[in-house]
Amino acid sequence: MATSSDQPNGGKLTGSSIVESLGITPLINAGGPNTKHSGSRPRPEAIEAMEAMSEVFVDIDELLLAAGERIAALTGNEAATITSGASGGLVVQAAAAMAKDDPKLISQLPITDGIPNELIIQRGHRFIYDHLYLSPGSRFVEVGRPTDCTIDEIEAAIGPNTAGLIHLASPFKSELGVTLPALADLAHSRSLPVLADCASMLPPRENLTKYTSQGADLVSFSGGKAVRGPQSTGFLVGKPEWIEYARLNNSPNPGVTRAQKVSKEEIAGLLAALEAFVEIDEESETKNYRDQMTFIVDQIAEIPGLSAEIIHNLDHYIPHAVVRFGESWRGPGYSEIANRLKVGSPRIYAAVDYRETPSFISIDPLNLQDGEVAIVAEQFRKVLIDASSGN
Ligand SMILES: *Cc1c(COP(=O)(O)O)cnc(C)c1O
């Protein structure tokens, strides 16, 4: 048997020692908080809070109520509650829209006999994760076209079976549809809730209140992306009445969301992460990311056939180094470049535009640790130079 002195670090447990004992190779995450690539790194404050919280037992309902109040105060909203990721929040939104606070209906879902179960969604707001809305038994009524939709088309779709109206805020979605304020006015004139998926829209921190102030009744955010809470957490902010319905439809209560449990440690971890997140000076945070991305862009900008620039806009929630291939590019496409980075040494995950025809590969600084900017710059440069000569 191996003794502790045979092992690096004198046998002390490390992230590397855990994955190596399992026979897998870690990677540098230069592609952002993508779940398949481990999300984001929980803040030290979150890890500390999780460990401390493991020492006590509490009544989970009491904890969720108190934690919800804390999140509401921290984010500047009227009410909030915790969910299992933003996607868990979508399930809870749909369940709340259908069953509200009726214990019989809550335990009946996903069977929706006798309950309005239709969620109206603009075709331009369909998204890879939106099936979560269907898991408690709802149905989509799709309106408009992938590129646009009118308020009249939404109004015409509302009927006795309508339970709620969906709004998505995400990069890559069509911006030409019905706006959130217009959707909310219509919904509220029919006593219907607006259910919003804004999972990845943080930062900017001002978005913590943007969607609620525009009329959304329930807004789902990820806790495991740039907030850097536990990967499996998320939170809903919104109107007190709808947050209460959401809580009643959520784990730990029995029902369709029972599998979406969030532990007391994760709850404490998310609170600590959010506390830290809202305190950070966004301007200096942005400048820091921009400086890191400038370093990467400078290393690759001269490679023939490509353009490299720093972009910080709706598609890129923090400054990214974005590389596009021009007509004179002789190498393979974006996905192949990402593959080469991922099988290299060290392994690097970079993000490829996930639309059908990708138009860029980018570096996201969120998960880069000390020293990794230089490593990523060097590897990216090597792979691109090699590819640019037609290899
Ligand atoms: C990331 C994301 C989700 C899923 O969030 P999780 O916290 O990982 O569950 C849902 N919707 C959108 C638009 C997202 O970007």
Structural domain count, the chain: 2
Q: Do 125 and 233 lie in a common domain?
A: yes
**What integer pLDDT is reported at residue 315 of this predicted model?**
84
In whole angstroms, how far apart are CA 317 and each of 32, 92, 211?
A: 10, 26, 16
Contact in structure between 122 and 149 (CB atoms under 8 Å)? yes
Q: Which two tokens stand for residue 256?
A: 């369709």
How far does residue 290's CA lie from ligand 1's centre (Å)?
25
pLDDT at residue 11, as a whole number: 73
- Per the structure, the complete domain to which residue 244 belongs is given by 44-279
Q: Return the amino acid letter for 89.
A: G
Residues with CB under 6 A from ligand 1: 35, 85-87, 127, 129, 170, 197, 199-200, 222, 224, 234
61-91 burial, b at 16+ Cβ within 10 Å, e below that, comes to eebbeebbebbbebbebebbbbbbbbbbbbb
Q: Residue 168 CA: which ligand 1 atom is closest? A: 13
Give 386 Cα–ligand 1 centroid separation in angstroms: 35
**Mean pLDDT of successive 10-residue stretches along the chain, which has 391 residues:** 51 91 97 96 98 98 98 98 98 98 97 97 95 98 95 98 97 85 98 98 98 98 98 98 98 94 98 98 98 98 97 93 96 97 97 90 97 98 94 79
Same domain, 265 and 318: no
Atom of ligand 1 nearest to the CA of 200: 15
pLDDT at 10: 66
The pLDDT of residue 4 is: 45
Report the nearest atom of ligand 1 relative to the CA of 232: 7
Residue closest via CA to ligand 1's atom 15 equals 200
Task: Give a yes or no: residue 39 inside a domain.
Answer: no
Looking at the structure, tell me whether residues 194 and 289 fall in a common domain. Answer: no
Residues 218, 316, single domain; the answer is: no
Please indicate, yes or no, if residue 96 is contained in any of the structural domains: yes
Nearest residue (by CA) to ligand 1, atom 5, is: 86
So what's the pLDDT on residue 176? Answer: 82
Indicate if 67 and 24 belong to the same structural domain: no
Co-location of 225 and 360 in the same domain: no
Cα separation of 94 and 164, whole Å? 8
